[in-house]
Amino acid sequence: MPVNGLPDEKKRLKIEILGCSGGIGPGQHTTCLRINERILIDAGSGLGNLPAEQHALISDIFITHAHLDHVCFLPMFLDGLFEQHTRPIRIHGLANVLETLQQHLFNWKLWPDFSTLPSPENPLLRYNPLQLNQTVKLDGLNITPVLARHTVSASGYLLEDDYGRMLFSGDTTYDASYAQLIENSLPLDLLIIECAFPDRLEDLALRAGHLTPSLLGKLLARLSHPPKRIGITHIKPTLAEEVKSDLDRLHLGENLIYLSSGTSIHV
């Protein structure tokens, strides 16, 4: 039964963090989020946390950008579905992002071209290039790419259903136009946003297309009303204590959540 007017958990948008670290190490896995049952966002090493018997449930994968920490487990994941394959897995993303995967990953050199195997009529994967702000509707969920500011073509994704609305930033840095994009996505029940580097390394963060706590603070300061919750991802493991101590200065209180492999959130 719903509690306090909230829909019961089964109906609410569910986000499982399979991985969201900015590096690797024991318990540290790179970006892969599972949405409800059959949708993934990115396919980093966190995808290795999805039990094998659940792999065949996945029907759609939304890619933020082609950097390896976001796609490195996609080839082996698809390879494992070869035998049980019944219909193509749809790989969604900005056209430039999908072209990079086609040309540099599924190119018969690094890995077979799974867009033609086992047969061109019924391949393992089918690319679905998206325009910015083009919404995909799946199981009562609207999923829309939102431009990110990274070193390569990149997007985040806005997810909304009847009950909630969240934005996953993907990898991004800050500028005023990016703040406007987030403003246009408001109101948000949840903003999942990266914060890779500490303030001390702001120059590096800007060059690498990432955020620091103070850049995140500037972004939040420009919003007309804050997201209800802010989930932090992509912290470099060796810099985690410094990033967290810098984030303390933003005084986000209980609205701030540090996300890691194994966390589940209902929106």
Binding site for Zn ion (CB under 5 A): 67, 69, 171
Residue 16 CB, nearest distance to Zn ion (Å)? Answer: 18
- Of 66 and 78, the one with the shorter C-beta distance to Zn ion is 66
137, β-bridge pairs: 142
Residue 42 CB, nearest distance to Zn ion (Å)? Answer: 8
- Of 20 and 138, the one with the shorter C-beta distance to Zn ion is 20
Residue 104 CB, nearest distance to Zn ion (Å)? Answer: 14
Quote the CA–CA distance of 227 and 183 in Å, as a whole number: 10
Residue recorded with tokens 């569910």: 14
- Of 123 and 168, the one with the shorter C-beta distance to Zn ion is 168
Residue 151 CB, nearest distance to Zn ion (Å)? Answer: 7
Residue 120 CB, nearest distance to Zn ion (Å)? Answer: 31
- Of 12 and 67, the one with the shorter C-beta distance to Zn ion is 67
User: Do the Cβ atoms of 195 and 243 come closer than 8 Å?
Assistant: yes
Task: Name the packing angle between helices 213-221 and 240-248 (round to 10°).
Answer: 30
User: Do the Cβ atoms of 91 and 136 come closer than 8 Å?
Assistant: no
- Of 69 and 246, the one with the shorter C-beta distance to Zn ion is 69
- Of 12 and 70, the one with the shorter C-beta distance to Zn ion is 70
Tally helices (H) and strands (E) across the chain: 7, 14
Residue 92 CB, nearest distance to Zn ion (Å)? Answer: 17
Other C-beta atoms closer than 10 Å to the C-beta of 116 total 14
Radius of gyration of the chain, Cα coordinates, nearest whole angstrom: 18
Burial profile 77-95: b = 16 or more Cβ within 10 angstroms, e = fewer: bbeebeeebeebbbbbbbe
